[in-house]
């Protein structure tokens, strides 16, 4: 598996409000920049998605794939590739949410992408960083704008 790209941001809301936005996959195209479509294929017993099909356009990485999700209540969620795409052979990641003593929640997003096509590591890591940073900033705008 590729090296992980990780970044954190503080959002002025509680974990449940943030996790509600993270779990609302059909709304991703409205706030998660590179996600053009997200379709829930299966849900777990608690009602959260367990398999989701994505259409991604992140410039050099553009593909369609399915991710499988594992939820840890409102503390976090992790995912891995259930079905790879034309370019993406493996994609793993997670959101971890930790309430901050002074208020708000620190959200850490980790992402690792393995591609079927050769790509210079520096370019792949830059694309991962753009995806992570855009997702965190979009998540904060979406949560705090509610």
> Can you give the CATH number for the domain in which 63 is found?
3.30.530.20
* C-beta of residue 70 within 8 angstroms of C-beta of residue 82: no
User: What pLDDT shows up at residue 105?
Assistant: 97
Number of domains the chain is built from: 1
Does the pLDDT of residue 117 top 90, yes or no?
A: no
Q: Which domain holds residue 38?
A: 5-144
pLDDT at 65: 95
What is the rounded average pLDDT of the residues 102-123? 81
Instruction: Tell me which residue of 71, 69, 60, 32 sits closest to 126, measured CA to CA.
Output: 60
Q: What is the DSSP letter of 85?
A: -
31-87 pLDDT, tens per residue?
Answer: 987 899 999 999 998 899 999 999 988 776 789 999 999 999 999 999 999 999 998
Give the sign of the dihedral formed by CA 136, CA 75, CA 6, CA 35. negative
Say if CB 115 and CB 1 are below 8 A apart.
no
Picking from 58, 65, 94, 57, the residue whose alpha carbon sits closest to that of residue 82 is 65
Per the model's pLDDT, the better-predicted residue between 61 and 111 turns out to be: 111
pLDDT at 48: 96
- Model pLDDT for residues 81-105, shown as the tens digit of each residue: 999 999 888 899 999 999 998 889 9
pLDDT for 1 equals: 45
Phi, psi of 13 (to 5 degrees): -160, 165
């Amino acid at each position: 598996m590729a090296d992980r790209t990780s970044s954190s941001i503080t959002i002025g809301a509680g974990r449940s409000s943030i996790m509600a936005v993270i779990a609302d996959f059909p709304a991703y195209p409205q706030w998660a920049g590179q996600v053009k479509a997200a379709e829930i294929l299966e849900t777990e017993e608690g009602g959260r998605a367990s398999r989701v099909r994505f259409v991604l356009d992140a410039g050099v990485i553009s593909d369609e794939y399915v991710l499988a999700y594992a939820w840890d209540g409102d503390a976090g969620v992790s995912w891995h590739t259930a079905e790879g795409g034309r370019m993406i052979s493996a994609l793993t990641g997670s959101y971890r949410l930790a309430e901050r003593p002074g208020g708000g929640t620190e959200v850490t997003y980790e992402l690792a992408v393995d591609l079927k096509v050769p790509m210079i590591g520096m370019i792949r890591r830059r694309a991962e960083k753009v995806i992570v940073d855009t997702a965190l900033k979009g998540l904060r705008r979406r949560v705090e704008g509610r």
